[in-house]
């Protein structure tokens, strides 16, 4: 079992705190995405786990053993860097076998293992090439293969797909996920792309300003965000100021009754109502709003509305597209059971 445990992990650079008091339990074999806006401390957290930064406080445990003061090269982790950090002076196979060469594995075994790993990342027959002869996607796979060469206890990836174009990126996300499921290695990926996180992860860690905002399964976080930041960062959402009184909320001059399934994470008084664009519906009665923009994306239609000076976004499937035009006034309802009332 190689579950990863962080206890009160903190990293300060001078006066700024990059990572603050992070306590986490990551069970064995999970695919975890560390998600957050740039500068939120997610890369620093990954580097702390890798041992490339020394924590100011706190502990890192792998399979129950304290690794906090163990130097990077004795942790037996695999890591893929943002720049990939492939060695230009070595061939593809030598790159992949580097961690084995360091451990004194003999040449024949190294060669066999490199071929095996190239097969695994579906890149056979390039072992003798130089790194500069590979395309971006191929380099990506080589870096992943190298990270997996020693069967690492924990596999860490820092924005591994950020250099790829959109199509290849989506393709690699699926591939990386399938690879991880096959190998069952505990994996941590840093990303700022929530779509990427939702595609790959079975556990999300949402960070902002050095703190963990929420952890959980992606859909759990999507449906039940802990605060307004998480609601806005995971998927898109409409955040509307409201007043909460018991099981009733007042939004834009209209009082709505909360239904079963609606989540309340705020005390009575000023609050924020979070409604996903796909949960905004048009009806005969409801909150009056004016259509200000229609964006037809083919797979879906987004209608932007003005609700008492607030922008509200609604998304429909093409066949549910309402017959409205710019400037029309419509009445909005929010799908009961899918509304979340958050602290302001």
Nearer to another protein, 85 or 259 (CB): 85
Does residue number 14 form part of the binding site for another protein (CB under 8 A)? no
CA-CA distance, 235 to 277, in Å (whole number)?
9
Binding mask 102-131 for another protein (x = CB under 8 A): xx----------------------------
Q: Which is nearer to another protein, 95 or 266 (CB)?
A: 95
> CA distances (Å), 205 to each of 139, 221, 281, 301, 310, in order?
27, 10, 31, 30, 30
Helix 136-148 to helix 166-183 angle (10° resolution) is 20
Q: How many residues bind another protein (CB under 8 A)?
A: 29
Give the shortest CB-225-to-another protein separation in angstroms.
34
Total H helices, total E strands in the chain: 8, 21
Residues belonging to the chain? 344
State which of positions 296-315 bind another protein (CB under 8 A). Answer: none
Residue from 44, 62, 98, 277 binding another protein (CB under 8 A): 98
Nearer to another protein, 71 or 184 (CB): 71
Q: With contact defined as beta carbons under 8 Å apart, do 143 and 84 qualify? A: yes
**Nearer residue to another protein within complex by CB, 98 or 229:** 98
Axis crossing angle, helix 107-120 with helix 92-102, rounded to the nearest 10: 120
- Per DSSP, 91 falls in state B
For residue 57 the two structure tokens come to 């406080």
Out of 73, 112, 171, 295, point to the residue binding another protein (CB under 8 A): 73
CB of 258 to another protein, least distance (A): 50
Residue among 69 and 321 whose Cβ is closer to another protein: 69
Per-residue binding letters, 75-94, with another protein (x by CB under 8 A): xxxxx-xxx-x-xxxxx---
Site for another protein, residues 255 to 294, rule: CB under 8 A: none
Report yes or no: 339 and 275 within 8 Å, Cβ to Cβ.
Answer: yes
Instruction: For 295-318, give the DSSP string.
Output: EE-SS-EEEEEEETTEEEEEEE-G
Looking at residues 147 to 206 of the shown chain, list those that interact with another protein (rule: CB under 8 A). 149-150, 156
Nearer CB in complex with another protein: 97/197: 97
Bridge partners of residue 109, in order along the sequence: none
Contact between residue 4 and residue 26 where contact means Cβ atoms under 8 Å apart: yes
In the complex, what is the shortest distance from the CB of residue 202 to another protein, in angstroms, rounded to a whole number?
24
Kindly state the smallest distance separating residue 74's Cβ from another protein, in Å. 8
Q: Which residues bind another protein (CB under 8 A)?
A: 50-52, 71-79, 81-83, 85, 87-91, 98-99, 102-103, 146, 149-150, 156
């Amino acid at each position: 079992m190689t579950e990863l445990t962080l206890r009160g992990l903190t990293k300060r650079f001078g006066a700024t705190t990059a990572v603050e008091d992070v306590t986490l339990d990551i069970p064995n074999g999970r695919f975890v995405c560390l998600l957050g806006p740039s500068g939120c401390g997610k890369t620093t957290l990954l580097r702390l786990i890798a041992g490339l930064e020394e924590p100011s406080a706190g502990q890192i445990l792998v399979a129950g053993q304290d690794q906090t003061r163990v130097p990077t090269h004795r942790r037996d982790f695999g890591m893929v860097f943002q720049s990939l950090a492939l060695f230009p002076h070595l061939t593809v196979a030598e790159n992949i076998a580097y961690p084995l060469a360091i451990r004194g594995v003999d040449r024949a075994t190294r060669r066999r293992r490199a071929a095996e790993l190239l097969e695994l990342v579906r890149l056979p027959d390039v072992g003798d090439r130089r790194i500069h002869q590979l395309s971006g996607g191929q380099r990506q796979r080589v870096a992943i293969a190298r990270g997996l060469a020693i069967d690492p206890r924990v596999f860490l990836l820092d924005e591994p797909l950020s250099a790829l174009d959109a199509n290849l990126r989506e393709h690699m996300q699926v591939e990386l996920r399938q690879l991880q499921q096959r190998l069952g290695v505990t994996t941590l990926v840093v990303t700022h792309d929530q779509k990427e996180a939702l595609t790959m992860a079975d556990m999300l860690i949402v960070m902002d300003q050095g703190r963990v905002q929420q952890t959980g399964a992606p859909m759990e976080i999507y449906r039940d965000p802990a605060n307004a930041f998480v609601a806005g960062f995971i998927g898109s959402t409409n955040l509307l100021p409201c007043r909460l009184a018991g099981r009733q909320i007042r939004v834009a001059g209209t009082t709505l009754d909360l239904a079963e399934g609606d989540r309340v994470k705020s005390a009575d008084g000023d609050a924020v109502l979070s409604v996903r664009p796909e949960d905004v519906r048009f009806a005969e009665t409801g909150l009056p709003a004016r259509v200000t923009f229609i964006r037809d994306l083919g797979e879906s239609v987004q209608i932007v509305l003005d609700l008492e000076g607030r922008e509200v976004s609604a998304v429909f499937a093409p066949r549910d597209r309402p017959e409205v035009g710019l400037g029309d006034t419509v009445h909005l309802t929010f799908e009961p059971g899918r509304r979340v009332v958050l602290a302001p």
